[in-house]
């Protein structure tokens, strides 16, 4: 059984992410202890809320350097994915800097509401073990107002007025802007791929 640690960010989606992992046979432990996080085979950074308070929490827990130093596969979910980048317009905050780029606010326009809430299709841009079995056009569930622009790290994109990164990957660092724990078969497949397909 794969030992997975969920970094305790205090977000409301932690329980559902943990349950989704346990359904896949993972031993999912919730922890803010650096030694526990470092000993995991896989690490997940979940998150809901705003970037500045989330980064303040990570700093307060002494976890910023711990996360930056991880060598095992790391998956950021929703806000957790955004925190992997260098900075965010949300609160004009410095983030973890594990991926290049700045998180920007989605812009509302005619027929486009922000926050982006609901099911939307994925546009695959690059092949990756994280996306095995997930087809171009498959739908996932999103809830967010900020997003990462499309770049060389983009594995799949999504369009809601603006086109943005829906799934990212660079080395052993991955992120999903959507909520896999709420995305039915597509979300379960992405989590299963992170547990079993992504190289350690």
Cβ neighbours of 23 (radius 10 Å): 13
Catalytic residue list contains 29: no
Helix and strand numbers (H, E) in the chain are 6, 14
Catalytic residue list contains 95: no
Report helix, strand or coil for 136.
coil
List beta partners, residue 7: 31
User: What is the C-alpha separation between 22 and 163, in angstroms, rounded?
Assistant: 33
Q: Which of 78, 95, 144, 158 is catalytic?
A: 78
Q: Which of 90, 153, 158, 181 is catalytic?
A: 181
Q: Which of 89, 160, 179, 197 is catalytic?
A: 179
Please list the alpha-helical segments (H only) found in 117-165: none
User: Which residues are CB-contacts of 142 (< 8 A; sequence separation ≥ 6)?
Assistant: 116, 117, 118, 119, 120, 158, 160, 166, 177, 178, 179
Residues annotated as catalytic (active site), given as ranges: 78, 179, 181
């Amino acid at each position: 059984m794969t030992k997975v640690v969920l970094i305790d960010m205090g977000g409301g989606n932690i329980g559902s992410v943990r349950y989704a992992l346990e359904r896949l046979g993972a031993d999912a432990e919730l922890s803010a202890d650096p030694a526990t996080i470092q000993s995991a085979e896989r690490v997940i950074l979940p998150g809901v809320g705003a970037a500045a308070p989330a980064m303040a929490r990570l700093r307060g827990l002494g976890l910023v350097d711990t996360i930056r130093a991880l060598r095992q596969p790391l998956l950021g979910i929703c806000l957790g994915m955004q925190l992997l980048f260098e900075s965010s317009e949300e609160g004009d905050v410095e983030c973890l800097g594990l991926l290049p780029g700045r998180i920007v606010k989605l812009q509302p326009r005619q027929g486009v509401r922000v926050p982006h809430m609901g099911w939307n299709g994925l546009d695959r841009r690059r092949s990756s073990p994280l996306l095995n079995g997930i087809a171009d056009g498959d739908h996932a569930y999103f809830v967010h107002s900020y997003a990462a622009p499309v770049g060389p790290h983009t594995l799949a994109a999504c369009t809601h007025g603006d086109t943005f990164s829906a799934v990212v990957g660079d080395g052993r660092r991955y992120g999903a802007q959507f909520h896999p724990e709420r995305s039915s078969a597509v979300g379960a497949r992405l989590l299963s791929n992170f547990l079993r397909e992504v190289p350690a």
